[in-house]
Every structure is written in structure tokens, then in C-alpha cells.
Amino acid sequence: MLVPLYLDEREQLHAVFTKRRDDLRRHPGEISFPGGRRDPGDADLTETALREAEEEIGLGREHVAVLGALQPTPTFVTNYSIYPFVGVIDPGHEWALQPNEVALVLELALADVRDGYARRRLVRRGVPFRTDTYCVDDNLIWGATARIVADLLDRVGPLLAE
């Protein structure tokens, strides 16, 4: 998985998220970072992250400077381990969405994401639970993506303008 970051013209740090299509079998309508499964031809997980970002949102690997990795993050429902890699990109990219997977690209200021933190009660498949979430406008980030965001904010929080 790739966590694309950029600084806008006001020096505000942004992250690029995707909103998955509502008709997908797994994680429908959820907000995540671009990513997916490792292909046999991928040299390593960094290569997987770059390939998936290119396939899902048209972010060519030549436009990404990979800075490093965040901690691996498990998913509870699908039992995957997500390996997020942080990459810096230039602002103003024109996205080319993979129409079978991605409904929307969201470019969110990390300060707004941080400020949208709340512990919320959600209901999924009829089961209520409390979990950490981030909400910007109507965009709710929860689950593994929220755990990745928490790790990212722990690391870059001091860089965010108050």
C-alpha cells in the first residue's frame, strides 16, 4: 500500500486516499490508500505499492519518492497484513481512476484528518463496536486505514501546522 503525501502551495501536508466503489465485494465504499495484493512479478512490497498506485489512480512510480515504511497493519475481517510505504509526490496530479475499483480520489490535509479524530460507535454486518475514526467532511476513515493514519500522524504530527 502506498501513502502518497504532498505539500500544497500553503505548505500544508496532504495525503491521497481512495474511496472504493460501493458495489465491491470486499470493503465496499471504504476509504483507503491505494494498494493491493503482491503479484508474483513484484520484486518486493515497495514494488507492489508503486504498481498498485499506478494501476488504481494513475500515479506513475517515477512521480513517487519513497521515504520508508510504516508499521505493518492487520485487517480483522479479511485477515490480511498491510505493508504501508510512504511516498512524496508533487501536488496537482491528474488522477486516472481504475473504474472497477476506485470511485473517488480524496486529497485531504493531514491537519484536517487529525482534527477529525473521534472514537465512534459503528455497526458493520449488524454488529456494533467502538473504534477510532477520522472524519473530514462526510469522509469517514476507520479500520485498518485509521490505524495506518494514526501511525502516520504519530510520525509527522510535529510537522503539521496548528
pLDDT confidence of residue 161: 60
> Model-level pTM?
0.93
The residue assigned the cell 502518497 is 4
Angle at the Cα of 74 from the Cα atoms of 70 and 78, rounded to 5 degrees: 140
* Separation of alpha carbons 7 and 115, rounded Å: 18
**Residue boundaries of the structural domains of the chain:** 2-113+142-159
DSSP assignments along 99-120, one per residue = TTTEEEEEEEEHHHHHHTEEEE
The residue assigned the cell 504519530 is 154
Per-residue confidence in pLDDT tens, the chain, 162 aa = 999 999 999 999 999 999 999 888 777 789 999 998 999 999 999 999 999 999 999 999 999 999 999 999 988 777 789 999 999 999 999 999 999 999 999 999 999 999 999 999 998 878 899 999 999 999 999 999 999 999 999 999 887 765
pLDDT confidence of residue 157: 83
* Separation of alpha carbons 106 and 87, rounded Å: 16
Q: Provide the CA 4 distance to its chain's centre, in angstroms.
A: 8
Domain 2-113+142-159 has CATH 3.90.79.10: yes
- The answer to whether the CB of 88 falls within 8 A of the CB of 94 is no
pLDDT confidence of residue 51: 97
pLDDT confidence of residue 152: 97
pLDDT confidence of residue 39: 95
* Separation of alpha carbons 43 and 25, rounded Å: 28
- The answer to whether the CB of 110 falls within 8 A of the CB of 13 is yes
Residue 135, judged by CB atoms within 10 A of its CB (0-12, 13-18, 19+), counts as: middle
Cα torsion 125, 128, 129, 135: sign = positive
- The answer to whether the CB of 118 falls within 8 A of the CB of 112 is no
* DSSP code for 87: E
pLDDT confidence of residue 108: 98
pLDDT confidence of residue 162: 58
